[in-house]
Amino acid sequence: MKRKVQISFQTMTFVEGQEPDSFSFQTEGDLYVKGNASYLRFKEAHAHQQDVFSTMKWDGKELMLIRQGTIIMRQSFVAKQETLGRYVTPEASWETRAKTDTLLVQLPKAAKQKGKIYIRYQFFLQGQATGEHEIRLSIERKDE
Query: What confidence tens digit (pLDDT) does each residue in 53-100 have?
Result: 999 999 999 999 999 988 899 999 999 999 999 999 889 999 999 999
Is the Cβ–Cβ distance between 141 and 107 less than 8 Å? Answer: no
Count of domains forming the chain: 1
Give me the CATH number covering residue 72: 2.40.128.20
Of all residues in the chain, what percent are helix, strand and coil, respectively (each to 5)?
Answer: 0, 70, 30
Q: Which residues contact 117 (CB under 8 A, 6 or more apart)?
A: 40, 56, 63, 104, 105, 106, 135, 136, 137, 139
Count other Cβ atoms within 10 Å, centred on residue 100: 21
Q: What's the whole-model pTM score?
A: 0.91
Which residues span the domain enclosing 17? 3-141
Instruction: Check residue 59 and give its pLDDT.
Output: 97
